[in-house]
Amino acid sequence: MPSLEDYSQNDPIKMLVLGNSGAGKTGLIATLAKDYRVFIADFDNGLPILMDEKVLAKDLRKNIYFKSFYDPVKPDVAGRLLPSAEGWNNFVLTLRDWKESGNSLGSIHSWTASDVFVIDSLTFMGNAIFNSILQLAGKLGQRPDFTLWGAAVDAQEAVLETLFSPAVKCNVVITSHLRLVGDETAGGIQKLFPSGITKNSAQRIGRYFNNVVLVQKSGFGNNVKREIITTATSNTELKTTKPSKVPAIIPPDLGNLFNLLKSTS
């Protein structure tokens, strides 16, 4: 039986990045492009920020691949505007084989520690899942029943379980908006959780990640300041695998945070 002396510290980083809309979650992805090949599953249609040269240098754009999975709204035969429910199925296929111009770049099970797979964001991925579930049930545009909520939660957690599995050797970053819910483990006190499909699922999402951090923005105009919070606050559960190496508050640079987490010194 091995002891901790034999434990490998080369595990890939599995990270959840929390933050309100506009906090800078998507822009943080740019800081990974210098040292990693980055694959972005874009559910938010929020990638234009990465085209700003102050956010991502032109010569690093080649290191970031992306595919968009949001659901365009289309009229049905009755003239109602409904989501097309295409995004989720396309995402599942892409997990198995990421293709660029007909050429395969592999899958989450073939990528390595030199790669980062990003889902931006968990919030809108949940919407895509729900649209797919409603379509399968023939209830797009209708009020869902309890069983459909459960099916959507199961689908979302199945993806998180897959990505957290040791079988996935690449690094994983998932962004999420925040959801204020009563924490049943803390006597109903209101706390901030990842934006899960339901209140209960929101409280379970953090268990799929060894690193959960929060992006905060303060100030206005030219005085805007962004920073990453890495230790728990009064209303948010945060964590890292290297609390002795990672300061409680750091500059908004995921690349630097990855270096700290991978440091063996």
Q: What is the pTM of this model?
A: 0.91
Distance CA 53, CA 69 (A): 25
Convert the pLDDT of each residue in 185-208 to its tens digit.
556 678 889 988 888 898 999 999
CATH code, residues 4-262: 3.40.50.300
Distance CA 95, CA 97 (A): 6
Distance CA 236, CA 186 (A): 12
Convert the pLDDT of each residue in 16-67 to its tens digit.
999 998 888 999 999 999 999 999 999 988 899 999 999 999 999 999 999 9
Neighbouring residues of 19: CB distance < 8 A, sequence distance ≥ 6: 25, 175, 176, 177, 178, 214, 215, 216, 217
Distance CA 18, CA 179 (A): 10
